[in-house]
Structures are given as structure tokens and as C-alpha cells.
Structure 1
Amino acid sequence: MTYDRYVAICQPLHYDTIMNSRACVQMATGAWISGILYSVLHTGNTFALTFFGGNMVDQFFCEIRQLLKLTCSDSYLSEVGVIAFSVCLVLGCFVFIIVSYVQIFKSVLRIPSVQGRHKAISTCLPHLTVVSLFVCTCIFAYLKPTSSSTSALDLVVAVLYSVLPPIVNPIIYRMRNKEIKAALKRLTGCR
């Protein structure tokens, strides 16, 4: 989605030739392959672990961090491999998004008309909002110290990063619709 916005704003005359069906299939295939590799890596590492007698996970779903608390085998090397792959995948996507948006905002600042700048920014803002919301909740969930967090806090954080972005996603993308904006203003009483 970031690349689509980048091409639409930075190279608008070449949009149809760059964002053809072949490019879309390649991007979708890349996303699917990286997701499948990530899933297979986690699943393989989970099946390689041996667990204690208990099978109670303090979570709404079987999350990797909660499973690692139940294991009795030394999983240091497999955890390092999973973390290294995860960091490479996440940092690669994050750097790509940041570089694309820097290029987009550089192009937007060169647009002479205020209306043109506003239109370009309003095209990017929903995607940037959704990505920021997801990244911030994941950072809060995974980069906090595990020893200092309670299980209730872990449950709330899990709900935040797994439920909140998908719920807010359609709302944010619909905010561009003028009728929805007008209805929300009437509902909240804002002018």
C-alpha cells in the first residue's frame, strides 16, 4: 500500500505502467511468501519444544511468548533464530515504509498549490494512521519487560494489538468519505 501511494504521488504519470497487474501479483506473492515463512518458522519451533505438565496459557489465544513460559527445554537458539528472522522482516518493512513516506512528503512539499498538498496528504494519512496504530501497539506488547507485567495487562495489550487495528482500519479509511464525516460531526455535535 505504501508503494502504491508512493507511485501515485511521486510518479503520477507512470502510475499505470508501474502499478500494473504483474506488479500487484509480485507484491501480493512477496507478502504471502514472507507470511508463510514466518508462520512455518514459528510452528516448527513450537513443535520442537517440550512442555511441562500444565497447558494453561494466560492469554486469549496461543501466543508464542506465553508458550515459551510453559516450555521445559532450552529454546535459546531457536528463539534467537526466530527473533533474528522477525527483526529482519519487520525492519525491512518498516524501513521501506519510512523511506517511501519520506519520498512522498518531499514530493508533497514541492506541490505548489495548497489544495494539491492537502489532497496528497489526505491520500496518505489513513494508511499512515493504521500502520502507526499497529506498530505502536505491537511495540508496547513486545518490547516491554516480561517480568514487570501482570497477566491482566498482557491480556489487555493482546486485545489492543490484535483487535483494535482491524476494527479501526475501516473507520479510518471511511473518514475520507464526506457523508461519514458529516454524520460524525452531527453525532458528536462538532462544527
Structure 2
Amino acid sequence: MTSRRHWTAGLLVGLTLVASGCTGSPTPGPTPSASPSPTRLGTSAPPVARLWDASAYRTKPCGLFTDDQARVLGYNKPGSASTDDPDVATCIRDTGTASGGFMVKYYFATDLLGKIYRREILFPGINSASPITVEGQPALKPTIPGAEFCTVAVGLTNTQGFEVRIDDKAVDPCDRAVTIAETIMRNLGA
């Protein structure tokens, strides 16, 4: 009977302390964080081990991601090419709706990844970008939670590369940009 009273008294004291917010000395625990820390890039891009020359597509930049491949992803308008700059060629595609579209920009005389790593080219999310590979090629993908746009940059050689810039509210933009980049690399290797 006495041990039951002590137990009951101890329980009541414990409940009173918890209810009043006094729990004794705190024990350290994990500190919650809002998001994981971003990956900080160095100043040197990873080497491009396998070299792919895309110069054959300099005058036809929409040829590495065809109209048929674009339609499968919902981009129903034919690609619009721009080849005015001798070192850069661009292909723009959109859905034909308000959801958005994407652009692929090919660089033929620029160390694209090297310039991004050295901060010579502004890259969205550079302070929180993830080095990835696209069909074995070194690439970068920003990690911007909740963004409605994404740019994935891929190295082809030490002086060639391309980026897929997507602004499409209907899809996860980075997943879609990686999918397009993978298709481009497979077409380039075909």
C-alpha cells in the first residue's frame, strides 16, 4: 500500500512538472533543420572523360531533340531554331498552351561547365547545385525547392556543352530537363 502511494505521488508530481513546462534539465537532442545544406561547388568542373562533338548540329539545333520526341512530352509546336551566333545555337519548344516550354542552348566554343564552376557564367542555383551525370557526361542540376523553372548544363567536350532551360508549370522542371538532356545525349550517340 505504501509503495502504491509513493508511485501515485511520483506520477502526480511528474505530470504536474510536465504540465507546467518544467521537465528538469534538458537533454540535448537533434536540432531540426528547415532543409538540407546545399552542395557547394568548387572552382573546378569534373573532367569530360568521353568527348562528344555536336558541331554537325550547329545549323540544326532542333535535330538533337526531334519534333516527334517533343510531341511525346506534350510540346506540340515545331522547334524554333536560332543560329545567328557562330558559337551558340538554340532550339525553343513550347506546349502551345500557357503551361510553358523549354530551350536547348548548344555552346560550340565555350567550356560551359568550367565557366559555371568558375562563376564566369551565371547559373541558377549555383550555390545549391548538384553535380550529376547525364548518360555518363558530367552535368549540373540546381536544387531550388519549389522552383517552376530549371536549367541543366551538360559537358560534351572541353569546348562544347549544352543546357536545357525549362519553364513548365505542368511538370517537375528539373526531372523534365534531365529527361530531355538524356534524350539529346542518346540522339547524339546514335
Range into which the TM-score falls when normalised by the shorter chain: under 0.3
Considering only CA atoms, is the larger Rg found in Structure 1 or Structure 2?
A: 2
Q: TM-score, normalised by structure 1?
A: 0.20
Which structure features the higher share of helix residues? Answer: 1
Bigger strand share: 2
Tell which has more relative contact order, 1 or 2 (C-alpha 8 A, sep 6+): 1
